[in-house]
Amino acid sequence: MPNQDTEPVLEELPPEKLLAADRLQPIRAGIRCMDSIDTVQQYLAYENANRDRTQVQAALRMRARELRDAEPDDYAAANPVL
């Protein structure tokens, strides 16, 4: 269930740009702006394939859980935790 509000995050800070940062603080700020589980999954896939940093992966997974917790139960059941 993509959220239209997330599109600017992908346009302005695509995974290769946001996740290029060496400091965790700006990455976490970008992750907090994500409103779609689909977006989080795209960033997690990029991180897994390119940098493979445990802290970044954990932050992305936590954001996915937060988004799932905020969704109706039927959506959460159809989209299991990463």
Q: Could you tell me which of 60, 48, 50, 49 has the C-alpha nearest to residue 24?
A: 60
DSSP secondary structure code for residue 1 in this structure: -
36-79: pLDDT as tens digits: 999 999 999 999 999 999 999 999 999 999 999 997 765 556 66
16-34: pLDDT as tens digits: 999 999 999 999 999 999 9
7-16: pLDDT as tens digits: 566 778 899 9
Does the reported pTM lie above 0.75? yes
Alpha-carbon gap, residue 22 to 3, rounded angstroms: 28
